[in-house]
A = this chain, B = another copy of it.
Amino acid sequence: MTQPCTEHKECISKAMREGERVCQDNDQRFTAVRRRVLEIIWETHKPIKAYDILEKLSDSAGKPPTVYRALNFLLGNGLVHKINTLNAYIGCTHPREHAQCFFIICKVCGTATECCNSALNGIIQETAKKHNFTNYTASLEIQGVCEACANSPPS
């Protein structure tokens, strides 16, 4: 369930097409920096840190604000999510479907996978309602050991 996709190039190109599409829909500009940052984020399925993005970017240009601006743009348009427990960023596999995503993260290999599901959404909604909260967003991050890492011999 959580192993890397077999044809990762597909992921990247799909993500870029989604980016294109979302920006069009939202009447936003998918500029070179934003595009490049999204590509870098999609190079793996592990959350990546802002300063690591910065490094990969700096063949050409790049200071922290450049990266953070791009990140905030991508976050704002749902193309990327922030993993708060790690201060890191990861691409969203289905922007345009919903605003919030939940993640399950292997603390051994670092891979993060979306684990959104309607049961979770339902309970969270119920919880918010019970507390009379409105206008909410939720951040759920589950950290554990994935099957592959659990099975791999201790090095």
Contact = CB atoms under 8 A, between A and B. Distances in A.
Interface string A27-57: 0000000000000000000000000000000
Contact of A104 (B106, B127, B145): B127
A144 to B, nearest CB: 3
B144 A128 contact: yes
Interface stretch (A12-20, A67-75, A91-99, A113-121): A113-121
A146 B128 CA distance: 9
Copies in the complex: 2
Contacts of A126: 119
A145 B131 CA distance: 10
Contacts of A138: 140-143
B127 A146 contact: no
Contacts of A150: 132, 134-135
A146 B131 CA distance: 8
A104 B128 contact: yes
Contacts of A136: 104, 142-145
Q: Closest 9 interchain pairs by CB? A: A136-B144, A133-B144, A132-B147, A84-B84, A138-B142, A140-B140, A139-B141, A84-B85, A135-B145
Given A136-B145, A139-B143, 14 more contacts: A1-B130, A1-B131, A1-B132, A2-B133, A85-B139, A104-B127, A119-B126, A123-B123, A131-B146, A132-B146, A133-B142, A136-B144, A137-B142, A139-B140
27 contacts: A2-B131, A2-B132, A84-B84, A84-B141, A104-B133, A115-B130, A119-B123, A119-B126, A120-B123, A120-B124, A123-B123, A127-B142, A128-B144, A131-B146, A132-B146, A133-B145, A134-B144, A134-B150, A135-B144, A135-B145, A136-B143, A137-B142, A137-B144, A138-B140, A138-B141, A139-B139, A139-B142
